[in-house]
Structure 1
Amino acid sequence: MNKIKNAIMIGATVLFTACGGGEKTVETETIKIGGLAPLTGSLAIYGVTTTNGANLAVDEINKNGGILGKKVEYITLDTKGDSTEAVMAYNKLIDKGASAIIGEITSKPSLAVAEIAAQDNIPMITPTGTQVDITEAGPSIFRVCFTNPYQGKVLAILAKERLNAKTAAIMINNSSDYSDGIAKAFIEQADISGIKIIAKEGYADGDKDFRAQLTKIAAEQPDVLLVPEYYEQASLIATQAREVGVKAIFIGSDGWDGIAKTLDSTSYNAIENSYFTNHFSMQDTSSKIQNFLKSYRDTYKEDPSAFSALGYDAIYMVKKAVENAGTTDKDAIVNALKNIEYDGITGYLTFDEHNNPVKAVTILKITNGEYVFDSKLK
């Protein structure tokens, strides 16, 4: 947590009337970007790693002359992953003069903030909020990550084209829009691709025992088992699935990033040869990604997550938009973002008509607890 740097406010924009008449603008000494993230609470692991990536980008930008010749202040406020806290934090950041907002991290608080930011026409980029209706809040709302339906569709394409699956089963978190959105899109694409869904079981957020549902799935002997879930519960489902005799290949969503960390190395066999969607691969040999990895490891003494890379890209996207606009005027930034072409750590992207990124999805395969690059699908 001590890696997170909350910037100190410097300067302010002041309008005054000169003696000779007319208004003059005293430019701010810095360009302020606001950050919204859960830095404490159960979701802090996601907020901290995203913020670390964003701070790394800010440090690099400032070392290289800033944006439009000005230093960048990245002011991050803790939302605790709560929608009400996120809205309060958003209002504080706007009061502090933020020209753009990075965040929120998870989908529900992202949507809560997006609805207000859209009314204010404040440029907002969620690095990691995958719920599809976030960007539907208004034209000033963007995202770096792909949406839940998009990765659900890609997972079905993976099952058919890469794994030759004819049948599939699904474990759905009935308490999660994230899980449900991915599962629905998977089912739609599976039907198009000719994959038969032979079992679908549900559970609630916080459940720890999935053996009853998994025993039913084991009896159906599916080729693949989709688990659209975050890695804490996904690791429990995977290990229990093997215990009750599920032989299927596991396929998971981007929430699986980090699943190996939850398991002892003696349990890696439970997730061996599983596949999941992600936003980049640390095995990518491009100099851009390898430089990012080195810089992140040097700074934080650990590997970056996909959330780190998305936070990093979000900052650089704001930089490019402001530079293309030539100003920190919010309307100009929004217009620049709409027309952006950005090649970052998580891929080359443009935005579609709903401000969702058009880009390839990285597929990773788990081998001996390592995430090995498999392919890119679109």
Structure 2
Amino acid sequence: MANAMSRRNFVKLSGIAAAGLGGASILTACGGGSSSSDDSSIKVGLMGPYSGDVAQYGLAVRNGAQLYVKQLNDKGGINNKKIDLDTQDEKGDATEAKNVYDKMVEDGVVAIIGDVTSTPSIAVAQASVNDNMPLVSASATAADFIKYGKNAFRACITDPYQGKLMADFAAKQGYKTYGAIFNSGGDYEVGVKDAFVKEAKSKGLSSVADPQGYSAGDTDFKAQLTTIISGNPDCIFCPNYYQDDGKIVTQARQLGYKGVFLGADGWSNIVGGDQDYASAADLEGCYYDCSFTVNNDDEKVQQFIKDYKAEYNADPSNFCALGYDAAMVVMTAIEQVEKDGKYKPSDDDYKQAIIDAISSGSVDGVTGTIKYDGTGDPVKPTLVITFKDGKESVFDTIEAS
């Protein structure tokens, strides 16, 4: 999510879209409709938090997904049918997410792109099993999201995978000791931290202190950092979201720590946009993993960035790219089902055919080639990003094992 759009810009763009289109989707009528897919269109759900505390993530995913569907519809849609996005806000709440899901089922969607954050996504996954509704989340990283049924998939890598990957990376870099600081109330942060600690131990890395937790909303991390820094670690693992991580890095430097910080994809957005959350000097030589950065020279990535900027007048983030790819996974599967021609969107078997097409297919996404190998977790590459001279760059690409 380097040079990513800030929450302020997302909200501003969302407001412009709502004002200009009466609250409707930028693609087709959104929400509130009761018609199901017919011979001229195929209805697909797009859900996420478009208001509330985590709206920046939902709006980013929505922008990416809507861009892909707009491009697809501009080319004629699928089998001469336009994709009708039923786009609804679950406000970052699990109960509201279940209500939105029920409404989408009533509306006759054949698949859903969503949900976005892990807890509402799990609620939707649990509800979707009895309907055999195909789900593709751009960004639900919690391991449990896919455990309820074979209908749920994700475009992102998981919390456990990230923790393991970064511990392996630390060992490869020759680090012998580490400290860790994490939001003890966050499922994401705890999940990544636990996986890192487990893998670090297996790789022979030792912790200089117990992992140091803090509470959501904290802004002063000096007590935890003092405990860690007193052990002189080779690196500090900081698997939180960028708003906290920027403060943590800054305060650690103020306390005299000159070593390396390691992070997970929550670091995306720590530089760029309206605000840098830590200085270039403080971030120099640190690393985190993610699926996407605008500083990737890959031709496909650069074309996506160009298209996104033309649509939204801003650089895309990691979540935007994952939203684009999640939409690609869904639409590619629908295209295969329509090509086979065995079922109509109104048939229950149509949904199972979409699930089968996702399970057996692959897409060449902007976050890498995505395929599935027996589970809803993607087999795809992961980037390790570093900071040099105030800019992010791809340090390494870790292929799926």
Q: TM-score, normalised by structure 2?
A: 0.87
Gaps of 5+ in 2: 1-13, 19-23
SS at match of 2:197: helix
Correspondence for 2:319? 307
**Are the equivalent residues in 2 in contact too, given 1:83–1:108 (CA < 8 A)?**
yes
Correspondence for 2:185? 175
Kindly report the root-mean-square deviation, in angstroms, between the aligned alpha carbons of the 2 structures. Answer: 1.8
CA distance in 2, matches of 1:353, 1:240: 44
SS at match of 2:147: helix
Q: Does 1:46 align with 2:57?
A: yes
Q: Does 1:354 align with 2:365?
A: no
**Are the equivalent residues in 1 in contact too, given 2:180–2:236 (CA < 8 A)?**
yes
Greater alpha carbon shift after TM alignment, 278-287 vs 98-107: 278-287
**Are the equivalent residues in 1 in contact too, given 2:46–2:86 (CA < 8 A)?**
yes
Which of structures 1 and 2 has the larger relative contact order (alpha carbons within 8 angstroms, sep 6+)?
Answer: 2
SS at match of 1:302: coil
Question: Which residue of the other structure, out of 232, 239, 244, is the alignment partner of 2:243?
Answer: 232
> Going by fraction, where is strand more abundant, 1 or 2?
1
Correspondence for 2:207? 197
SS at match of 1:303: coil
Q: Does 1:70 align with 2:81?
A: yes
Alpha-carbon offset, residue 93 of structure 1: 1.3
Cα distance change, pair 13–159 in 1 and its aligned pair in 2 (3 A): closer
Alpha-carbon offset, residue 307 of structure 1: 0.4
- Trace 1:155-166 onto structure 2 (pairs within 5 A): 155-161=166-172, 163-166=173-176
CA distance in 1, matches of 2:286, 2:278: 16
CA distance in 2, matches of 1:223, 1:186: 15
Correspondence for 2:98? 87
Greater alpha carbon shift after TM alignment, 107-116 vs 85-94: 85-94
Alpha-carbon offset, residue 280 of structure 1: 2.0
**Are the equivalent residues in 1 in contact too, given 2:270–2:278 (CA < 8 A)?**
no
Letter in 1 for 2:374: E
- Trace 1:14-25 onto structure 2 (pairs within 5 A): none
Deviations 1:232-278 (A, max 9, x none): 11111111111112222011110110011475598322222211111
Deviations 1:96-128 (A, max 9, x none): 111111111100000001100122100001100
SS at match of 1:171: strand
Deviations 1:181-228 (A, max 9, x none): 111111121122221122221111111111001011111111111111
CA distance in 2, matches of 1:207, 1:55: 35
Alpha-carbon offset, residue 13 of structure 1: 5.0
**Are the equivalent residues in 2 in contact too, given 1:215–1:245 (CA < 8 A)?**
no
CA distance in 2, matches of 1:236, 1:306: 21
Alpha-carbon offset, residue 285 of structure 1: 2.8
Alpha-carbon offset, residue 69 of structure 1: 1.6
Identity of matched residues, %: 37
Correspondence for 1:344? 365
SS at match of 1:350: strand
- Trace 1:115-134 onto structure 2 (pairs within 5 A): 115-134=126-145
Deviations 1:62-97 (A, max 9, x none): 011101221111121111111011111111111111
How many residues end up aligned between the 2 structures? 365
Cα distance change, pair 63–237 in 1 and its aligned pair in 2 (3 A): same
Correspondence for 1:375? 396
Cα distance change, pair 301–13 in 1 and its aligned pair in 2 (3 A): closer
Greater alpha carbon shift after TM alignment, 103-112 vs 185-194: 185-194
Gaps of 5+ in 1: 15-26
Cα distance change, pair 284–263 in 1 and its aligned pair in 2 (3 A): closer
**Are the equivalent residues in 1 in contact too, given 2:239–2:264 (CA < 8 A)?**
yes
CA distance in 2, matches of 1:108, 1:130: 10
CA distance in 2, matches of 1:101, 1:360: 24
Cα distance change, pair 181–266 in 1 and its aligned pair in 2 (3 A): closer
Correspondence for 1:21? none
- Trace 1:152-301 onto structure 2 (pairs within 5 A): 152-161=163-172, 163-199=173-209, 200-261=211-272, 263-264=275-276, 267-301=279-313
Greater alpha carbon shift after TM alignment, 102-111 vs 189-198: 189-198
CA distance in 1, matches of 2:373, 2:237: 27
